[in-house]
Amino acid sequence: MSQVAILHEYLWTHTAAAMRQLKGKVKETPAQKKERKKEFRENKENIMKIAVPALVIAAIVVFLIVYMAAGRPKTY
């Protein structure tokens, strides 16, 4: 994409006319509401599948590093 085209696209998307919003609240159709709720549910499930196990693994790694660095007590 040429620099002129990039500049044109930037100016077009960042003008006052492009950023103008409708007055009042935009009504959401029942289908849009259903889709939004479905996406929210899927995102919540993804958090449980990805983020929580990643945080648990990170906590275990930190624990092991601290445990190894501190040294284990010697028994006589």
Q: What is the mean pLDDT of residues 68-74?
A: 78
Query: What are the residue ranges spanned by the domains of the chain?
Result: 30-70
Dist CA 61 CA 53 (whole Å): 12
Instruction: Specify the pLDDT at position 10.
Output: 75
pLDDT bin (cut points 50, 70, 90) of residue 2 is confident
Residues 6+ apart with CB under 8 A from 28: 36
Instruction: Specify the pLDDT at position 16.
Output: 55
pLDDT over 70, % of the chain: 79
Residues 18 and 12: beta-carbon distance below 8 Å: yes
* Tens digit of each residue's pLDDT (9 = 90 or more) over 26-35: 788 989 999 9
pLDDT bin (cut points 50, 70, 90) of residue 38 is very high
Instruction: Assign 29 to helix, strand or coil.
Output: coil
